[in-house]
């Protein structure tokens, strides 16, 4: 007879209860651990995949296996490459092989969750890579990332994985942070819409669950230092850092990852307010909470023993740990009375529920085949932001003699960002490839310098190349390139030792200086000195201070990390095949000395320093295309609203393509809530609309306020006051706002 | 018959009740306002002081006068100088004249509180000026500031004033903030001890009350911008920003000033949690809460009307407003039902209680005579911090040929800081004066440059002066100099308009760049190029990034704003009459790109950027003298303590003057509280001891932990864990800590 937990016809609760009832304490604690790094679970022997002793030991230790992280991960840290890793064809077999071993080693035959990194594509050989989050957010088109996420989920399912680790919850509040590329920018609404889209996309694939990271407030870390303290208060947390998580959970995310940082002194992994009171009691979340890698062990900085650290985390609400030594000490914690069996059961129940919901204990369904690549040109190009176009230099003529110059001009790795596998040889399109693809191989190329260092004679050759051309395309920025010889911390973040790694962004690559390195600034000076028009293309995962570049160059295009086909998109934009339609998802600072600069900080009286303006250099929402726009005054469908009714408000205005060329604009709706006794944020994005119009055309644009806007505004259900609303083409534009009365008694909307 | 409120024999409550019972609503609201700026209340006509129509109008409007700010203030903003202001001899008469008018215009004969700025001496003509708070804190000798405060209180009383506005509660967490000089540094214990000392000193004088500012969290403002949002949480607030206020209140401060900033979205003047729940309910404070100048009006940014803004402030707990237009609208607030009469009474009762406690309604006592100056040489010199002394260049020989160079070398105003009156002609000692006083008039002098601008030929002349000397003393830094032609905001802060004011620090002078201006860096290069040994003296109210100066010069002395006699103290230190004994009360950053850097932030995993170390350049507590020190291991009087018993712990170690010269050291005791589930601060100063020893001498030093240390550590009464303790000569020194068990059950200390 089949045990009740195996019968898909039974309700989830019945199956979980039955299964838990059969398990020993040791087996339950085993389910709460994912200590083994997945690439240590298998190897190749004579071309055949085999499981390792390390896997057997871990299974034996835990009486099974809760989860396995990174089984298919391929990158410098795992050491897996095209000769040692699992390509798309081999992956499902590797997964099945390991899973059979896990099931065989589990008395009750419980499979492991296979957990994979998939922040912008699966970090495995042959996976399709998408722009990093920051570049995707710059497209202001969550629907495109939904399709990308659905594709990645299909890949994951075809390979036998179950849980995708996806960034998106962190807000990019400090440009010094190396992980800025993993954020959907500085704004909670944009992050919420994108997080929702990712979850929606991945949920199209049954059997794949999303774990959202990081929960919570990691973007508020002081100094832009990775995982640093976030001494913020509950309003700051709730208004800015929680909405994306709430949105993703409402959309059906199965897990969240508890972050490294503390919030006002309490590490997220020890934070019962966050993991239980907010997440479970208030939001009703029923999935699992996974600790970030070694994050529970970090509690040992204050806890006297591993058991004490584990107990704090379990009590707070961490269900599944990652790599921690301490979580295996839950046995001791139980013996010492630091935790109770029901607490173990609570966590185990959540892990098993996820396994059941993803079908791990159901009769196996045939895995789908590995999907063909998803078309991504709109997404890749859509996030590129034109910030300056002096004298309408762009779009360039194809007749022009073009020199492509700069350290990122011909470096494929620099287009990709962090958390990427090695690409197959011969794939990808650099900016140089893209321009040559349009203009032919006669296009001149000079690197000019390395990202952080000069090249002997590089400046002179670059200047000469520019001088001999009608226009120079200068490709600058950063790189997330990891080297297989780099040194790594135990959690895979780079270790900054004596040997300087190649990368300048990514996890472990926080930078004090937001300006481009001196070597690149010298290159800008050299290339612009001769008078040839120069287009700067910034390829980077970080919001740089580009004031000097913008002052020296005629045009500036911010390309972020667009992925392997990014070079073609750049070329298409430069030569007018496509209009640049991206808008900044994060403010570009003027320098590291003028931080923070997010557009949605609260109102200030002091707007400048004695030696600098306090505003951003290029604000959130900025970006131009190849035509010009005018937005008329806003009007709303009501003149009084209750905070709970906000989602029902529609705001309209007439938008006019006032230029001589068709184009697309992102019309942004901002709000400010005036509630007595509260200090309002300068502005809060509450919605936006993309408008495509022919030259001279007008159209009425309507924005329906999204429910997610409400927490960002900081309005409570009982607040009275005023809501100011205005349309703009970027944050900080002067506006004459529309005013609605905030009135909790407003029962229904008036037309 | 005398009314009961006039009879000093009656208890305070009886007197207040009686008085309130006789007052009209208009008279009560009048007591809550101090709208008129004091220097507008009187003028001189034919050499005689007379009251103004503006005073009569204000009295008539309010049916009396609650308080009058700045009656005796003399500075560029008030426009009062030695020809138009009140000198010591005339002040009491001016005060009496105005007070007679107030009493005559009040139906019940209630006098006004005269409120004066006294952050480091009274901001009035002829007052004795002391070092600004930051320089005083660098002496690590609160007892000296107690004497200075007592002197100022005597001056105030002799002049007829009642309430002294005193800075001290703000922590200097961001070196960009222009008001850093008003802080006792970055540490809550140091700020608490100094605040306590100021209150104790001023309370020696009956009739003088202290209003502590600012309450609370102003030092946590983002970006170091004055009054900017402080999005911090309750632990950060409680552990860092509240202890000084608590200490001052425990010591008997009669008032606190509600700050401009918000805390996590709620402006302090609207913050009932802060002004009522913490201040009144938890701490039992019975004095008055005064709003900062126009701070209630700033609530109108979100409140629909002046009455609504006033209502929010009154309900939250602001008793006495300053200059606000809105607080006169409490009448309308009452009519509209936004506040109730008992709320008006609550605030009025607090204002009247202060008047009664200060004796304003008692039969007049004879005013004391204006006191002679207080000896301050130990305080002025004691705060100067030697940070580098390469090759024991200092102390200098009096036989040396010395050139004194630099923009602050001969500028008396630069020694003073913000909130100062004009000095009498011919007083004060610049550094040049000080050196010439020791060595004679043959000492060469060259300004070299202005603070922020070059002087034609200045670098060459400075270089020549250095080259022709045995040693160059290079006096750099900032200035708080205000010009009578400067433009001011309505609250007296400087307005940064097109015409650049002379000052580079002070209220309204936030600076993005913490390094010294380029003109001064060029001067350092010019003066050090020739090989003559150079001593840099930094005169500034701001913690600068001085890495380049320290690398180029042989010695660096940080003198802060030491007051008018500071030049003599510098000379005495340079030539060895005195040892430099100051220690940094704030970390010196390496650059604006590496912030924050306070020593007592929480532990971080990431300790560097790819392009910079994340630590301070010179940490909190650093400073050297003319000998060398060694500190032995610590031992304690107990091995287990409860959090509430911490104040009883004594920690001892042997200190050794390991050099060849007698000297004085500041031995610092740091702690770290290890409580499971909390992220500890790197270190928290819990006590310190000054030790004077002859060369070669050893002595056991004992530090008794102060009660104030407990909130700084973040330990609650029920916490268990471990307390690490270690002695050091500065924050960040490697240490092998002593460990005490934190045990709430530890009923008594074990020997």
Q: Mind listing the pLDDT tens digit for each residue in B582-609?
A: 999 999 999 999 999 999 999 999 889 9
What are the pLDDT digits (tens) for A533-546?
999 999 999 999 99
With an 8 Å Cβ cutoff, is B720 touching chain A? no
What are the pLDDT digits (tens) for B701-742?
999 987 666 667 888 878 899 999 999 999 999 889 999 999
How high does pLDDT run on average in chain A?
95
Q: Do the chains contact at B614 and A263, CB–CB below 8 Å?
A: no
pLDDT number for residue A747: 47
Measured between CA atoms, the residue of chain A closest to residue B724 is A302
pLDDT number for residue A499: 58
Top pLDDT among B106 and B746 is at B106
The Cα of A685 is separated from the nearest Cα of chain B by a number of Å equal to: 18
Beta strands, E only, A94-233? 113-117, 163-167, 209-215
Q: CA-CA distance, B330 to A262, in Å (whole number)?
A: 43
A303: three-class secondary structure by DSSP: coil
Residues in A 671-710 with any Cβ partner in B closer than 8 A: 674-680
Q: Do the chains contact at B676 and A270, CB–CB below 8 Å?
A: yes
| pTM more than 0.95 | yes
Query: Which chain B positions have a beta carbon within 8 Å of A226's beta carbon?
Result: 605-606
The stretch B559-566 carries a mean pLDDT of 98
Q: Is the pLDDT of residue A634 over 50?
A: yes
Crossing angle for the helix pair A431-439 and A566-574, to the nearest 10 degrees:
50
pLDDT number for residue B747: 47
pLDDT number for residue B497: 63
Q: Is the pLDDT of residue B173 over 70?
A: yes
Most B CBs within 10 A among A307, A512, A544, hence the mutation to make, goes to A512
Nearest to B312 among A176, A227, A677 (CB): A677
pLDDT number for residue B500: 62
Lowest-pLDDT range of A166-180, B447-461, B486-500: B486-500
Q: CA-CA distance, B209 to B68, in Å (whole number)?
A: 14
The stretch A326-341 carries a mean pLDDT of 97
Residues in A 394-413 with any Cβ partner in B closer than 8 A: none
Which position has the token pair 């900033």? B261
Query: Which chain A positions have a beta carbon within 8 Å of B232's beta carbon?
Result: 231-233, 264
The stretch B265-278 carries a mean pLDDT of 98
Query: Which chain B positions have a beta carbon within 8 Å of A312's beta carbon?
Result: 676-677
Query: Which chain B positions have a beta carbon within 8 Å of A513's beta carbon?
Result: 593, 611-612
Q: Do the chains contact at A593 and B513, CB–CB below 8 Å?
A: yes
pLDDT number for residue B383: 98
Task: Count Cβ atoms below 10 Å from residue B555 Cβ, excluding itself.
Answer: 26
Q: How far is CA B278 from the centre of its chain?
A: 22
B263: three-class secondary structure by DSSP: strand
With an 8 Å Cβ cutoff, is B274 touching chain A? no
The stretch A236-245 carries a mean pLDDT of 97
With an 8 Å Cβ cutoff, is A595 touching chain B? yes
Q: Do the chains contact at B512 and A263, CB–CB below 8 Å?
A: no
Q: CA-CA distance, B557 to B535, in Å (whole number)?
A: 8
Q: Do the chains contact at A260 and B612, CB–CB below 8 Å?
A: no
DSSP output for B269-310: GG-HIIIIIIIIIIT---SEEEEPTTTTGGGGGTSSSHHHHH
Peptide bond into A216 cis (omega under 30): yes
With an 8 Å Cβ cutoff, is B596 touching chain A? yes
Most A CBs within 10 A among B679, B682, B720, B741, hence the mutation to make, goes to B679
The stretch B93-106 carries a mean pLDDT of 98
| First-to-last C-alpha distance (Å) of chain A | 63
Q: Do the chains contact at A676 and B304, CB–CB below 8 Å?
A: yes
Q: Do the chains contact at B612 and A512, CB–CB below 8 Å?
A: yes
Residues in B 180-239 with any Cβ partner in A closer than 8 A: 222-223, 225-229, 231-237, 239
**A224 φψ region: left (φ > 0), alpha (ψ -120 to 50), beta (else):** left
Measured between CA atoms, the residue of chain B closest to residue A502 is B610
Query: Which chain B positions have a beta carbon within 8 Å of A604's beta carbon?
Result: 225, 227-229
Q: Do the chains contact at B679 and A262, CB–CB below 8 Å?
A: yes
B489: three-class secondary structure by DSSP: coil
CA count, 13 A, side-chain hemisphere, A444: 21
With an 8 Å Cβ cutoff, is A262 touching chain B? yes
Q: Do the chains contact at B674 and A304, CB–CB below 8 Å?
A: yes
Q: Is the pLDDT of residue B290 over 70?
A: yes
With an 8 Å Cβ cutoff, is B119 touching chain A? no
Asked whether B459 and B448 are in contact (CB, 8 A), the reply is yes
Asked whether A470 and A439 are in contact (CB, 8 A), the reply is no
The CA distances from residue B651 to B438, B631, B646, B738, in Å, are 42, 13, 11, 9
What are the pLDDT digits (tens) for B387-431?
999 999 999 999 999 999 999 999 999 999 999 999 999 999 999
- Tokens coding B747: 């009923």
Measured between CA atoms, the residue of chain A closest to residue B503 is A610
B241: three-class secondary structure by DSSP: helix
Return the DSSP state at A643.
Answer: G
Q: Do the chains contact at B264 and A222, CB–CB below 8 Å?
A: no
The Cα angle at residue A543 between residues A538 and A546, in degrees rounded to 5: 60
Residues β-bridged to residue B535: B473, B555
The Cα of A705 is separated from the nearest Cα of chain B by a number of Å equal to: 21
Task: Count Cβ atoms below 10 Å from residue B719 Cβ, excluding itself.
Answer: 20
Residues in A 297-326 with any Cβ partner in B closer than 8 A: 298-299, 301-304, 308-309, 311-312, 316
pLDDT confidence tier of residue A501, bands split at 50, 70 and 90: low
Q: CA-CA distance, B414 to B436, in Å (whole number)?
A: 18
Q: Do the chains contact at B504 and A610, CB–CB below 8 Å?
A: yes
Q: In this structure, what are the phi and psi dihedrals at residue B514, rounded to the nearest 5 degrees?
A: -90, -15
The stretch A425-446 carries a mean pLDDT of 96
The stretch B623-634 carries a mean pLDDT of 96
Q: Do the chains contact at A265 and B594, CB–CB below 8 Å?
A: no
Q: Is the pLDDT of residue A398 over 80?
A: yes
Nearest to B267 among A225, A604, A679 (CB): A679
Measured between CA atoms, the residue of chain B closest to residue A266 is B678
Residues A26, A30, A35, A39, CA torsion sign: positive
- Tokens coding A436: 């040559």
Q: Is the pLDDT of residue B285 over 50?
A: yes
Q: Is the pLDDT of residue B749 over 50?
A: no
pLDDT number for residue A639: 87
pLDDT number for residue B499: 58
pLDDT number for residue A684: 95
Q: Which of B317, B316, B311 is nearest to B340 (CA)?
A: B311
Q: In this structure, what are the phi and psi dihedrals at residue B729, rounded to the nearest 5 degrees?
A: -95, -5
The stretch A154-172 carries a mean pLDDT of 98
Asked whether A201 and A155 are in contact (CB, 8 A), the reply is no
Q: Is the pLDDT of residue B1 over 70?
A: no
pLDDT number for residue A750: 40
With an 8 Å Cβ cutoff, is A514 touching chain B? yes
Most A CBs within 10 A among B221, B239, B264, hence the mutation to make, goes to B264
Q: Do the chains contact at A606 and B232, CB–CB below 8 Å?
A: no
What are the pLDDT digits (tens) for B218-268?
999 999 999 999 999 999 999 999 999 999 999 999 999 999 999 999 999
Q: How far is CA B123 from the centre of its chain?
A: 14
Asked whether B656 and B698 are in contact (CB, 8 A), the reply is yes
Q: Is the complex ipTM higher than 0.90? A: yes
Q: Is the pLDDT of residue B336 over 80?
A: yes
Return the DSSP state at A220.
Answer: G
CA count, 13 A, side-chain hemisphere, B497: 9
Q: CA-CA distance, A417 to B78, in Å (whole number)?
A: 58
Q: Is the pLDDT of residue B37 over 90?
A: yes
Q: Do the chains contact at A679 and B302, CB–CB below 8 Å?
A: yes
Burial of residue B737 (number of CB atoms within 10 Å: 0-12, 13-18, 19+): middle
Q: Do the chains contact at A504 and B267, CB–CB below 8 Å?
A: no
The CA distances from residue A430 to A396, A408, A553, A562, B72, in Å, are 18, 8, 21, 10, 71
pLDDT number for residue A28: 98
Beta strands, E only, A565-634? 608-609, 612-613, 629-631
Q: CA-CA distance, B161 to B153, in Å (whole number)?
A: 9
Q: Do the chains contact at B227 and A605, CB–CB below 8 Å?
A: yes
Return the DSSP state at B696.
Answer: T
Q: Is the pLDDT of residue A351 over 80?
A: yes
How many CB contacts within 8 angstroms connect chain A with chain B?
Answer: 239
Q: Do the chains contact at A604 and B308, CB–CB below 8 Å?
A: no
The stretch A214-241 carries a mean pLDDT of 98
Nearest to A236 among B225, B264, B304 (CB): B264
DSSP output for B174-205: -TT-TTGGGS--S-HHHHHHHHHHHHHHHHTS
What are the pLDDT digits (tens) for A696-737?
999 999 999 876 666 678 888 788 999 999 999 999 999 899
pLDDT confidence tier of residue B750, bands split at 50, 70 and 90: very low
Top pLDDT among B733 and B644 is at B733
């Amino acid at each position: 007879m089949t045990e009740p937990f195996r019968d898909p016809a039974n309700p989830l609760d019945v199956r979980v209860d039955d299964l838990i009832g059969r398990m020993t304490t040791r087996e339950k604690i085993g389910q709460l651990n994912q200590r083994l790094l997945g690439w240590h679970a298998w190897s190749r022997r004579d071309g055949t995949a085999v499981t390792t002793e390390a896997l057997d030991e871990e299974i034996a230790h835990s009486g099974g296996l809760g989860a396995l992280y990174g089984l298919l991960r391929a990158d410098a840290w795992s050491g897996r490459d095209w000769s040692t890793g699992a390509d798309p064809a081999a992956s499902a077999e590797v997964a099945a092989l390991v899973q059979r071993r896990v099931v065989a080693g589990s008395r009750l035959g419980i499979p492991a969750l296979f957990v994979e990194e998939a922040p912008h594509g699966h970090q495995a050989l042959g996976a399709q890579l998408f722009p990093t989050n920051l570049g995707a957010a710059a497209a202001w088109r969550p629907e495109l990332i939904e399709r990308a996420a659905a594709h990645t989920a299909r890949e994951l399912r075809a390979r036998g994985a179950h849980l995708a680790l996806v960034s998106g919850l962190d807000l990019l509040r400090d440009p010094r942070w190396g992980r800025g590329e993993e954020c959907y920018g500085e704004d909670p609404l944009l992050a919420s819409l994108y997080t929702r889209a990712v979850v929606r996309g991945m949920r199209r694939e049954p059997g794949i669950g999303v774990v959202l990271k990081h929960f919570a407030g990691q973007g508020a870390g002081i100094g832009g230092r990775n995982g640093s303290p976030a001494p913020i208060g509950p309003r700051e947390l709730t208004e800015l850092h929680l909405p994306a998580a709430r949105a993703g959970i409402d959309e059906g995310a199965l897990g969240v990852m508890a972050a490294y940082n503390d919030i006002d002194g309490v590490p997220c992994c020890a934070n019962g307010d966050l993991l239980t009171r907010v997440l479970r009691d208030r939001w009703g979340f029923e999935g699992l909470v996974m600790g970030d890698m070694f994050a529970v062990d970090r509690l040992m900085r204050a806890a006297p023993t591993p058991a004490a650290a584990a107990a704090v985390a379990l009590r707070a609400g961490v269900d599944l740990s990652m790599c921690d030594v301490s979580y295996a000490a839950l046995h001791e914690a139980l013996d010492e009375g630091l935790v109770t069996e029901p607490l173990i059961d609570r966590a185990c129940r959540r892990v098993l529920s996820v396994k059941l919901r993803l079908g791990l204990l159901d009769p196996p369904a045939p895995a789908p085949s590995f999907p063909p690549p998803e078309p991504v040109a709109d997404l890749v190009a859509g996030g590129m932001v034109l910030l300056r176009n002096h004298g309408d230099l762009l779009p360039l003529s194809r007749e022009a003699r073009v020199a492509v110059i700069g350290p990122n001009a011909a470096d494929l790795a620099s287009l990709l960002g962090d958390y990427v596998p090695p690409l197959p040889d011969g794939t990808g399109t650099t900016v140089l490839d893209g321009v040559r693809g349009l203009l032919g191989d006669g296009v001149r190329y000079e690197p000019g310098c390395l990202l952080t260092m000069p090249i002997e004679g590089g400046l002179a050759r670059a200047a000469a190349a520019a001088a001999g051309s009608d226009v120079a395309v200068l490709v600058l920025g950063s790189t997330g390139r990891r080297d297989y010889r780099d040194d790594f911390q135990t959690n895979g973040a780079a270790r900054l030792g004596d040997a300087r790694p190649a990368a300048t962004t990514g996890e472990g690559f926080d930078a004090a200086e937001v300006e481009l390195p001196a070597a690149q600034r010298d290159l800008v000076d050299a290339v612009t000195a001769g008078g040839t028009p120069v287009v700067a293309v910034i390829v980077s995962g970080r919001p740089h201070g580009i004031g000097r570049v913008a002052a020296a160059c005629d045009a500036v295009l911010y390309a972020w990390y667009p992925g392997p086909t990014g070079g073609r998109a750049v070329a298409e934009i430069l030569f007018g095949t496509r209009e640049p339609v991206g808008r900044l998802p994060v403010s570009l600072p003027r320098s590291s000395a003028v931080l923070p600069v997010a557009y949605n900080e609260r109102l200030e009286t002091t707007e400048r320093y004695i030696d600098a303006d306090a505003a951003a250099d290029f604000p959130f929402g900025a970006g131009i295309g190849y035509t010009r726009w005018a937005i008329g005054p806003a009007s709303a469908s009501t003149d009084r609203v209750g905070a709970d009714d906000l989602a029902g408000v529609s705001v309209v205005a007439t938008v006019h393509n006032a230029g001589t060329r068709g184009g697309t604009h992102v019309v942004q709706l901002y709000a400010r809530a005036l509630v007595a006794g509260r200090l309002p944020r300068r502005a809060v994005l509450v919605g936006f609309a993309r408008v495509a119009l022919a030259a001279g055309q007008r159209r009425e644009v309507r924005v329906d306020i999204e429910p997610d806007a409400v927490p960002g505004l900081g309005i409570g259900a009982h607040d009275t006051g005023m809501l100011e609303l205005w349309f703009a083409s970027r944050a900080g534009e002067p506006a004459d706002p529309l005013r609605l009365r905030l009135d909790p008694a407003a029962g229904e909307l008036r037309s």
